[in-house]
Structure 1
Amino acid sequence: MHAWPASEVPALPGKGRDLRIHDTATGGRITLDPGPVARIYVCGITPYDATHMGHAATYNAFDLVQRVWLDTKRQVHYVQNVTDVDDPLLERAVRDGEDWTELAERETALFREDMTALRMLPPKHYIGAVEAIPGIVPLVERLRDAGAAYELDGDIYFSVDCDPHFGEVSGLDAETMRLLSAERGGDPERPGKKNALDPMLWMAAREGEPSWDGGSLGRGRPGWHIECVAIALDHLGMGFDVQGGGSDLAFPHHEMGASHAQALTGEHPFARAYVHAGMVALNGEKMSKSKGNLVFVSALRRDDVDPAAIRLALLSHHYRADWEWTDQVLADAVERLARWRAAVSRPDGLPADALVEEVREALADDLDAPAALAAVDRWAARQSAGGGSDEGAPGLVSRTVDALLGVAL
């Protein structure tokens, strides 16, 4: 599966700072110090609906991670999946009387268009769950043969009790895990499971649903968590730098994935940092497909909203914050974009070397994009008052905003 085209990232003078970021597993900030190649895995979409602002906010956060790393002169090895077969996708296809593969392909294509418009840097590897199945089957067989998985009515379940580190990613108690498991795709009430929290690794073929040859597992399809584990281990290996996604993925998805990988390899941790973006709400409720309260990137683009303004609206909130999308949020972003563009359109201006360092410091400090925006606001306000004579300043500001914030002025 192919990703989307990369926009050019301008080179800036000097060198960026190492990223200090909040790690869900430890509950505090850690300084990431990758080697020459920084490794990141971000969980992708289930393509049964277009990109909404909650998606966009999540991918914007991890786009900033990439940009901070690139500014430190590192290479970035970024991997993202597409869950192109799953219950919600199949249910939507049945509801709409559409072939599930056509639905997945159309929505994935629209997602690529949205990411391109928003200038999100693409992953090096963009892998669908279906194409990963040949690599998933042997992992499930290994877990079963090692006693870390068991069969129940033809389905294969992972035993969370086999991983002594289970629970360390989310830090939740068992009852909270049980409640969230029921809400987020698990089946804690199924009779016969060794532990109510045990997640499915391989679902035996159901009538009327797609299935694949699973070798000794029989025909079926993979569970949600093992999909990402297989892709991450194949392309990044254990101990990669950042596992990313929305805060609703901390449990069960990232918790279960870490345990799968740790049981497979005998190593710990799966990822050095677990980084989670906040939720975006609309009309007082989390923006989600199940609620239908969505603002789509593609719809805003069709209404001729500048993608740079959409990106500024996302950047105006700290990535870990839960916030609400409103017309005023977008209006403020449109106005900010106009001010910035006016400021850099002058032939000269106030020196901007200090601004570059302010933006770098803000982003290195747990991706504090609002502080970075405020720094550019101050430069733009002084610029509008006149008095500067540095002919290179407007261009340097434009390159800084592009390179570090992904906004083209």
Structure 2
Amino acid sequence: MTSPVKAYRAAILHSIDDPAVVGVEQSYEYFEDGLLVINNGLVAKVGHAADLLPTLKGVEITEYRDALITPGFIDTHIHYPQTGMIASYGEQLLDWLNTYTFPTEQQFADKAHAAEVAGIFLKELLRNGTTTALVFGSVHKQSVDAFFEAAEALNLRMIAGKVLMDRNAPDYLTDTPESGYADSKELIERWHGKGRLHYAVTPRFAPTSTPEQLTLAGKLLGEYPHLYMHTHLSENRKEIEWVKALFPERKSYLDVYDHYKLIGARSVFAHGVHLCDGECKRLAETGSAVAFCPTSNLFLGSGLFDLNKLEEHGVRVGLGTDVGAGTSFSQLQSLNEAYKVMQLQGKKLDPFKSLYLATLGGANALYLDDKLGNFLPGKDADFVVLDYNATPLISYRMQQAKTLEERLFALTMLGDDRAIKQTFAAGQSVHCRD
């Protein structure tokens, strides 16, 4: 009989806390010659190979040379129906939605089309080392069924939901408060908590839902424990003005969601580029999270995300690609852009903070840090093998690097899907580059 225990040997790095809280030196563990021991899809041990090898009699050991093992990346905001429209030229948010997004999402009324795109989308995530994501479907419930079916087949930990949108969108993409509620309820009953899958109640953003629909979305969150809520917030200044016009009785964009009971633990708001101090304080006190989507915010000209401001208020922050407004499925490329966003504000993004955002920080934002984000024993064995020789330039740069910090930073500046040698979910290989 094959042993359920397997081990993987390479340099190993994982976050154990937020550098902003404990300081950089106390925020990570690193093993230059490390061993990650997996038992039945869970982390059993991690440590120095010299210490652990004598305890592993008869265990299969896979060794990677010139490689770094980290936890799998976590994407806290992405749209799978927009896979086919990534890199669509021009426009800012509201025009971009009407020109590209809505016509593309119309195709997801066809379950076969949704299934095809779901397969492509998940393959791209895994090629880029992302093992968990918080995902928008389309307004069609079959799009969510197709996504969950594909994710279940790979035993991935994924969160997704059907878009709720009953106004200010083409007729071919709108539901009603009642149908949106009923369809969501059906999907929750079928998928939430099944295997490693979770459901997110998903109003697209405040302008595309009536008060009646937002009320029923809040009702769903009250009816089922541990659901997620996933939407957009304060991405674009024109969008914010539109929200003010549609909800003049509310004091802020965030207050719209608060009023309809859509804010709290497991509520994730994408973007949050233009938040005031009061909104940051409210997000923190309710345990809500914000997804930092640097490639999208730069691509659509939305503005510069103030990570330090949110951290000072104690807001949970994860990292999102926001495909298709984002320009890459790669969290390495997202961190590349995040560094530049901070530089443009006269601030810094340390390489170990970048690691935290892409792994344990994302898990914390999603309240999954008891299951994901690092290699503490008992957590899901979702991990990625990064190749120090992925490209000739990366290989040459690594020869010049004198510290772990230099190597990690170079990977985030130069790395993309080519740097991902292998991706594992629940201890099983789900992508192998070579």
TM-score (norm 2): 0.33
More strand by share: 2
**Rg: which structure is higher?**
1
TM-score (norm 1): 0.34
